[in-house]
Amino acid sequence: MTAPGAVGPLGTTAPGSGSRLPPRARLRSDAKTLSLDGTWRFRLHDRAPRDEVDGVPPFAAGTDGATGPDWSDLPVPSHWVLHGHGAPAYTNIRYPFPVDPPHVPDRNPTGDHVRTVDLPDWWPAGGRTLLRLDGAESLARVWVNGRTVGWSTGSRLTTEYDVTGLLRPGANTVAIRVHQWSQGSYLEDQDQWWLPGVFRSVTLEHRPDGGLDDVFVTADRDPVTGRGTLVVETVTTATQVTVRLPETGLEARLVPGAPARVDVGTVDAWSAEEPRLHDVVIATDAETVRLRVGFRRVEVVGDRLLVNGVPLVFHGVNRHETHPDRGRVFDEDTLRTDLSLMKQHGVQAIRTAHQPPHPRFLELADEYGFWVVLECDLETHGFWEVDWSGNPSDDPAWRDAYLDRVRRTVERDKNHPSVVVWSLGNESGTGRNLAAMADWIRRRDPSRPIHYEGDTEGAYTDLYSRMYPTIEEIDSVCGDLAMPVHEVGPAAGARQRAKPFVLCEYGHAMGNGPGSLADYQDRFERWSRLHGGFVWEWRDHGLRTTTDDGVAYFGYGGDFGEPVHDGVFVMDGLVLSDGTPSPALADLGRLWAPVRFTREGSSLTVHSQRAQADTADLAVVWELRVDGRVVDGGALDVPPVRPGRDVTVALPSDAVAPRRGREAHLTLRASLRQDTVWAPRGQVVAEVQTVVEVVPPTPSARPSGVLPSAAVFDEDGALRSWHGIDVAVLVPELWRAPTENDRASGQGSYETTSPELSSGRGDESVPPSADRWRERGLDRLTHRVTAVAREGGVLVQRLRSMPAGTGSGIDSEFRWSGDGDDLRLRWSAAPVGPWDCTWPRIGLHLDLPDDLGDAVEWWGTGPHESYPDAANGVVVGRFASVVDALGVRYARPQESGHRPGLRELRIGRLAIDALRGAGVDLPGFQLARHTAQQWDRAEHPHELPASDRLHLYLDAAQHGLGSRACGPDVLPRFALWPRQVALEVVFRAVS
């Protein structure tokens, strides 16, 4: 009998039934398969049924019972909560159920999936038939024709059963019962949506007698001689195995069993930069398997991680499998789009956070060229909430479950050249079970190093890994400082510092951000033992949903009625939920470009940032812009640059000769010479802009004096209309709608202590910046005119702006004068009273009518937004847009669309020219249909009120972005502290 409170296998620590087959590689074979994907009958229970207690099967040998009001159709693969059955739930660290391992609540959503499959006439006789489940969350139990097959946990791991004796000719019934919560859920707390269901394919596969049940091929290449070796291990009952390399004509016959070595002679290396693949055919008389192998050697030598004898520096991202409509259900078109976008922006490494991906992902990673850190399906982060008490990582009762997961991870994906590091999992504390996983990997696959960030003492891993380290921590680990970065003893500290150093997570891309990516890139290039890192993360996890009125939006934690959730923290990607790239991706792409340009006079030095391939695939062009307009350009004859080397060429005289104008910029670009699998010919992969000398134009005389009659001021000296354009508000502004990094405090503040005095951690007792700003009233300035005067032809208005209930503020001076037929404003401001916090911004807010139109043109930086610590991906030029495209539609409205360095702006019939001079720098601008305060109050874009106004912000300065939602605060040199500012603009009217 089943014990009270337990149903079948629930409530144990076992990973699955003994009927599961040993894990093996996913192989492309000529063996027959039959997909069971498609429409299944489905019913949902709110608790785990007990109808199979005492051995009575819950499903008959047919689908006649799968009728009635409780049953409906459901596609497989799918998550039932995305098809109207229940609701998804998001947590970051906390478990959404009591921490009572290995038990789960009685109320446990359970989905029954049933379908009939006709075994076709062509199905081979003899041999065996396997039933394969590629992914089911979280515990799946299987019946065939009413008879029990087995059960398994490990949601993102493949499970196979031998069902030969249960099948019969013609119609067969397959039933899968999936429990949302199980003992496996304690090992899958991976900062993502909890999405139950059979979300990967279900397949029947014929295994012929004498077939290749498993193949393990290690394709090694000596980086000195260039000679390749295949080490082939097979599992088969055949007496002989044939190995062929059709490309070289090599053929060898091997005895199955122990690994056999095959010398293949000189071969090209596989790398992420040149993903050279070779077809290998492995066959017995009964079955032929085809693999695409890449020859490369991965090794740790001292404190260096080498691939093909060259240090490997990861320019990587963490990637969860997520889609706004399908959840974790695989879609190849979406994956290809993502991988192409990554390659186009210099991303060449992926950490599969925090589970093995769909098997097709690795085939494409091999083909496109990515270094992959493949992570086991393991995270127990929720035990952090109970001080790691009862954490399975050090509990012998969970040892089998841990080893089961790592075996199924490694065995499935062991043949892929893109996989260069195995990762034991993520944020699971530490303990003997993790050490056992590492020991097993070393015995099974010594060709790849082992990663796990939680091994803080370096007891069982090969790499030293850190999450969200500060710049000071990096310098300490890599340099001579002795600053502690973990609470470990001297021996452990020395052991870690002797290993290759990797940032498995950094640059938290939540909302608008992250900032300071260039500072991290500087360290990647400065320190030889620092092997790069992986930005967190690739894509927002928003799920497409609608309001009661049918308005679509991307939901995050709490939008589906979850009693426990972590809100917007799931929206932390370089691309938005629908795949739209954020400006952060362009910022990163410029840092990770394959080449770097440096100009000195008429000479251009092209430096290759690559480590494995030359630049013969890239064409270089130059383009000259004068006053933002393209006036000249052409191709440059740049010979191929070897990895890590430089080539210097002469620039044409037309590219560097002084031009008549206000300013000139020389832009240099590298683009693809030929089509690739990830981009067409002409795709720009590197761009840099430098200033060229100009011959200033002779200024035309512009009479100045009386204010133009088209400017209407009120009695308080405030501009109310310009050429009939209503100006409802023109006042100073200190507030911006807080970014996610403004709102959160993953690490400490740099406002009350410097990074150098706090090991870079800042003051962790200080609330988030947004809280400090709000406490000091920066979101609610009130204004008082202190003076209005005329000084000749100049109208002067002085204004004091202060938050209610405080004694601090700013004093402003508006100086209005005529500039021919135009209107000139010089605005200056200075802090008043005591200030003890940074400012979000300092600038002017203009409230304008939306009948100006939707079209916007500007000369300045672009094409997208940028901020003091995130400005690598923009150039100076002339750009055009529409109002609603100027900002980024982040999941939660926040500061967006700021473009510094404004020279000229045109909004319909209103034009604004920005001037630069003594004490006055070029402003930034931001234009939207809502105020910063309205953005601040909305939790989703659709909650913003209807608007018939345009809100223009002209900023003298903005605060940086930082990464404090999960990483360091805004670095001090990018922080906006209260200070005196000034800007000068000219308002014009245009047709």
What residues contact residue 269 under an 8 Å CB cut-off, 6+ apart? 221, 223, 226, 276, 294, 295, 296, 308, 612
Cis ω before 863 (30° cut-off from 0): yes
**Which residue, 935, 979, 926, 927, is CA-closest to 955?**
926
The number of helices, as runs of H, and strands, as runs of E, in the chain is 12, 62
Residue 497: which H helix or E strand, with range?
helix 490-497
Q: Which pair of tokens denotes residue 207?
A: 């295994």
φ/ψ of residue 257, rounded to 5: 115, -105
CA quadruple 449, 453, 456, 459: dihedral, nearest 10: -30
Pairing of strands 875-882, 855-862: antiparallel
DSSP state of 750: S
- 594-599 contacts at long range (C-beta below 8 A, 24 or more positions apart): 594/273, 594/346, 594/618, 594/670, 594/685, 594/686, 595/620, 595/641, 595/670, 595/685, 595/686, 596/686, 596/688, 597/668, 597/686, 597/688, 599/651, 599/666, 599/668, 599/690
In whole angstroms, how far apart are CA 349 and each of 310, 374, 707?
16, 11, 60
Rg (Cα) of the chain, in Å, rounded?
31
3-state secondary structure 618-659: EEEEEEEEECCEEEEEEEECCCCCCCCCEEEEECCHHHHCCE
C-alpha 250/C-alpha 241 separation (Å) is 14
In terms of Cβ atoms closer than 10 Å to its own Cβ (0-12, 13-18, 19+), residue 991 is exposed
Inter-residue contact 235 to 285 (CB < 8 Å): no
Q: Which pair of tokens denotes residue 941?
A: 């874009």
φ/ψ of residue 432, rounded to 5: -65, -25
C-alpha 558/C-alpha 152 separation (Å) is 30
- Classified as helix, coil or strand, 975 is coil
Distance from first CA to last CA of the chain, Å, rounded?
A: 86
- Classified as helix, coil or strand, 136 is strand
Which residues, in sequence order, are bridge partners of residue 989? Answer: 910
**Which residue, 704, 732, 917, is CA-closest to 794?**
704
Q: Which of 188, 427, 751, 865 is catalytic?
A: 427
Residue 217: which H helix or E strand, with range?
strand 212-221
Angle at 768 between CA 930 and CA 867, to 5 degrees: 55
Count of beta carbons in the 10 Å neighbourhood of residue 255: 10
Inter-residue contact 590 to 551 (CB < 8 Å): no
C-alpha 487/C-alpha 383 separation (Å) is 19
Residue 427 falls in the annotated catalytic set: yes
Q: Which pair of tokens denotes residue 528?
A: 């030889």
- Classified as helix, coil or strand, 791 is strand
C-alpha 114/C-alpha 196 separation (Å) is 16
Count of beta carbons in the 10 Å neighbourhood of residue 653: 8
**Which residue, 217, 218, 221, 220, is CA-closest to 241?**
217
In terms of Cβ atoms closer than 10 Å to its own Cβ (0-12, 13-18, 19+), residue 260 is middle
C-alpha 51/C-alpha 61 separation (Å) is 16
Catalytic residues: 427, 505
